[in-house]
Amino acid sequence: IGVFNGDLLLDIIIANYGTNDIDILIGDGNGSFTPAPDITSEYASRPFSVSVGDFNNDGKLDAAVANSGFDNLKVFL
């Protein structure tokens, strides 16, 4: 959970193991969320965990996604 689009409203990021994609749900401030376009991972990457932080110190949230299918970590800046 964090602000991913700069509007100061909380959004949600989800790793989808079964569909090999990352979903971002954009918050509207009233408890509802709108899906943003999926971020598709590589086939059989099996993303299972997301960590959020400003990893490159640019003032914007980034996401690190753990993939069990490839035993790796992919960072979205």
What pLDDT, on a 0 to 100 scale, did the predictor assign at position 3?
94
Task: Tell me the pLDDT tens digit for each residue of 47-64.
Answer: 999 999 999 999 999 999
What pLDDT, on a 0 to 100 scale, did the predictor assign at position 44?
82
Task: Tell me the pLDDT tens digit for each residue of 9-48.
Answer: 999 999 999 888 899 999 999 999 999 987 776 778 899 9
What per-residue string of b and e applies to 54-71 under the rule 16 or more CB within 10 Å gives b?
A: eeeeeeebbbebbbeeee
Model pTM above 0.85: no
- Nearest partner of 39 among 24, 54, 17, 18, judged by Cα: 24
The rounded distance, in Å, linking the Cα atoms of 21 and 15 is 6
Structure tokens at 38: 């999926």
The rounded distance, in Å, linking the Cα atoms of 21 and 34 is 16
What pLDDT, on a 0 to 100 scale, did the predictor assign at position 63?
94
What pLDDT, on a 0 to 100 scale, did the predictor assign at position 39?
76
